[in-house]
């Protein structure tokens, strides 16, 4: 198996760097995944997702939902992480709901990228909930699809469930795929699960890379 080297920093951008003779076979792997329409996700993105999700912690207050996005120049390979922590994006937020401006989400993504994306993945968290879209999520995502469709050909939605902070500091559990569209892991204080869905809200298959 050939590796894709990922460089990640606090600037929230990740670029794929292919080295020497690895380049040709890496491209073949991506092409095979493209034929299967499988989302190829680096574990480095999960590190950024974990930080973003746990940033909702406020002492003596309930966690609130947060939103973030991934985008990529390939239709199934994200290469940039977008925090979307802006008043232009987020209009209202509670423990069980987040109202975000989809036009501004797309605007932020386009401004943060060096080239137009072929893929946009929008993820929001369910604090102390499950990684499954609620009825209000379904309505919102269907409306969002109509807007995002003007800009990119491939749209995926993610639901990121995160437990409340534990009473003890524990061992980290590394990410693992538990079903076609789900990845779970644990930080030292919280459990995480992300489930991915296509435009029709059916499970979108994901493959976890390095």
pLDDT for residue 206 is more than 80? yes
Task: Considering only residues 126 and 57, tell me which one the structure prediction assigns the higher pLDDT.
Answer: 126
Q: What is the pTM of this model?
A: 0.80
For residues 140 and 129, the answer to whether their CB atoms sit within 8 Å is no
List, for residues 70-120, the tens digit of each pLDDT value: 999 999 999 999 999 999 998 888 778 888 899 999 999 999 999 999 999
Q: Binning pLDDT at 50, 70 and 90, where does residue 200 land?
A: confident
Residue 83 confidence (pLDDT): 95
Average pLDDT over residues 177-184: 96
List, for residues 16-47, the tens digit of each pLDDT value: 344 444 333 333 344 443 445 799 999 899 99
- Please report the domains of the chain, with CATH numbers, ordered by start residue: 5-208 (3.40.140.10)
Phi–psi pair at 15, nearest 5 degrees: -120, 140
Q: Which residues contact 167 (CB under 8 A, 6 or more apart)?
A: none
For residues 119 and 74, the answer to whether their CB atoms sit within 8 Å is yes
pLDDT for residue 8 is more than 90? no
Residue 36 confidence (pLDDT): 53
| Cα 136 → chain centroid | 19
Residue 163, judged by CB atoms within 10 A of its CB (0-12, 13-18, 19+), counts as: middle
């Amino acid at each position: 198996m050939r590796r894709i080297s990922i460089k990640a920093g606090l600037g929230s951008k990740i670029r794929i760097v292919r080295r020497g003779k690895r380049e040709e076979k890496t491209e073949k792997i991506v092409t095979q995944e493209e034929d299967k329409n499988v989302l190829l996700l680096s574990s480095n993105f999960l590190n950024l997702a974990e930080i973003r999700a746990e940033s909702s912690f406020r002492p003596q207050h309930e966690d609130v939902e947060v939103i973030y996005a991934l985008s990529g120049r390939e239709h199934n390979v994200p290469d940039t992480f977008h925090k979307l922590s802006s008043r232009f994006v987020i209009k209202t937020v509670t423990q069980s709901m987040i109202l975000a401006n989809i036009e501004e989400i797309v605007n932020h993504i386009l401004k943060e990228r060096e080239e137009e994306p072929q893929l946009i993945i929008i993820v929001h968290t369910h604090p102390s909930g499950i990684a499954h879209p609620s009825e209000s999520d379904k309505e919102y995502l269907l409306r969002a699809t109509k807007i995002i469709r003007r800009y990119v050909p491939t749209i995926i939605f993610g639901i990121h469930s995160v437990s409340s902070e534990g009473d003890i500091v524990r061992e980290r559990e590394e990410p693992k795929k538990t079903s076609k569209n789900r990845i779970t892991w644990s930080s030292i204080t919280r459990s995480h699960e992300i489930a991915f869905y296509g435009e029709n809200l059916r499970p979108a298959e994901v493959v976890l890379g390095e």
